[in-house]
Structure formats: C-alpha cells, structure tokens
C-alpha cells in the first residue's frame, strides 16, 4: 500500500484481557516503530525494529507489552492483561534505512484502545 | 522529565497572518528535529525537518528555524490558512555514533486554530 496501515482502528476491551494490534509498514521500509499517545500527552516511544537486528525495547512500559515483526514486514504489538492506564492511541511508524536524510518516520492512522 | 517541550498548548491566528510555533529541548545529543501535523483521528503527518548542522530549512509556506545555543526551534507558517488548523508536534532524535534506534522524542503538541 501507499502508506502505513494499522488494524483495528478502534478496540474496546475489558480490563484483564489481552489485545493484539497490527501494523503494516510502507513497503521497503526496514525500520518500524511503535509509539503511544495517552490523552493530553505527546507521543511516547515503545519499541523499534530495524531489519534483522535485535529490537530496541527500551520504551516498553512493562513486561505486559511485547511486539514482534515477522519477515521484516508486518508487526504485532501485544498487551497482556490490559489495564485502564493502557487506554491510548497506539501509533506505528516506518522509515527507510538509516542513512542521513532518509530516516523520516511516516505514521499510520493509529489504533484507539479503550480498556474498560 | 520532558526533553522536548512545547509550552503553548494552543495558538489562534488570523488567516493570512504568520503562525509561529515554538519548541524547546534539553538533550544536547539531539541532532535532528522534525515537525508533524496531526488532524483528529489521523496519524501524525510529516511536515518539515532540520538537521543540527543547519539553522534554517524552508519548504513552501513552512520554515523551521533552529537555535542550537538556545536549544530552541520554531516553525513558521506564512501565510496561515484555515486548513492549517491542527495539532503540531515537535520531535527530536539523536543520530550520532552510538545512538540506538532513531526513536523520536515528542513534545505534547500545540493546537493551531487559523481563523478565517
């Protein structure tokens, strides 16, 4: 596709349930990022994938959060045992290889997660 | 500990006038700065970026100025148009040797309203 796509666009779940969020990056982009935006806040970095390298998980807020990227393309962010504070918009971004001037990140529309 | 700060949560400007959005940062390792625009229910859209080796970058109606000594950057939009009404996020990354992912650190955003 032309841009980054994410699914579902909206997700309502009950506290304690697991959720999976999906991201399809721009074709050919080797870098993929997950961010989240809580109400009234800026975007907060969660995790980064670059090619076949080990992911940078330094932004994950707890061990309930995990992500994987299969085949260097599609990524899934999983939140286990969701809590109300996990309610946020989860945004995925992708960028080209790490060459100066080409690393601009392009964002998907986000998944709005509401934990009741 | 906010490393990127946008101290004005909102700004109103008359159509045709200049909009100036400001951003301050504290991390001296940041060497690449971006502005994103976000409409409700959409992901952020890349607007313009600037490397720390420059002090100005211009793209059409948008100009970004960087003052490294003051750790300050600003986005100028001239002339402002009603379609520019959105939330504008300032973001920064560190790309130097030893940098991990090119994760972006975002400000909380400034909501711009351009009045017809």
For the segment B67-86, what is each residue's pLDDT rounded down to a tens digit?
Answer: 999 999 999 999 999 999 99
pLDDT at B7: 92
Higher pLDDT, B38 or A98: B38
CB A90 within 8 A of CB A9: no
Mutation site for A-interface testing, chosen from B27, B44, B45, B94 by largest number of A Cβ within 10 Å: B44
A16-42, pLDDT tens digit by residue? 999 999 999 998 888 899 999 998 788
Are A105 and B46 an interchain contact pair (Cβ–Cβ within 8 Å)? yes
- B61: which 2 tokens? 């109606």
Q: Is A33 on the interface with B (CB under 8 A)?
A: yes
Number of helical H runs and strand E runs in chain A: 0, 10
What lies within 8 Å, CB to CB, of B65 at 6+ separation is: B55, B56, B73, B74, B76
Region A31-54 average pLDDT: 89
Backbone torsions φ then ψ of A70, nearest 5 degrees: -90, 135
Kindly list the residues from chain B whose CB atom is less than 8 angstroms away from the CB atom of residue A110: 42-43
């Amino acid at each position: 596709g032309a841009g980054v796509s994410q699914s579902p666009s909206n997700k309502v779940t009950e506290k304690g349930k697991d959720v999976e969020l999906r991201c399809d990056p721009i074709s050919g982009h080797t870098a993929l990022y997950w961010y989240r935006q809580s109400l009234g806040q800026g975007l907060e970095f969660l995790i980064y994938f670059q090619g076949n390298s080990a992911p940078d998980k330094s932004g994950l807020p707890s061990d309930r959060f995990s992500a994987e990227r299969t085949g260097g393309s599609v990524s899934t962010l999983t939140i286990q045992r969701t809590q109300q504070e996990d309610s946020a918009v989860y945004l995925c971004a992708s960028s080209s290889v790490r060459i100066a001037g080409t690393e601009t990140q392009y964002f998907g529309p986000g998944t709005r997660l509401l934990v009741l | 500990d906010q490393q990127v700060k946008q101290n004005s949560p909102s700004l109103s400007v008359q159509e045709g006038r200049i909009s100036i959005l400001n951003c301050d940062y504290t991390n001296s390792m940041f060497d690449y700065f971006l502005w994103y625009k976000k409409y409700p229910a959409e992901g952020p859209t890349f607007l313009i970026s600037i490397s720390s080796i420059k002090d100005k970058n211009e793209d059409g109606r948008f100009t970004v100025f960087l003052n490294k000594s003051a750790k300050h950057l600003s986005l100028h939009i001239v002339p402002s148009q009603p379609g520019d009404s959105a939330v504008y996020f300032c973001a920064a990354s560190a790309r130097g040797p030893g940098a991990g992912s090119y994760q972006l650190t975002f400000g909380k955003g400034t909501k711009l309203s351009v009045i017809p």
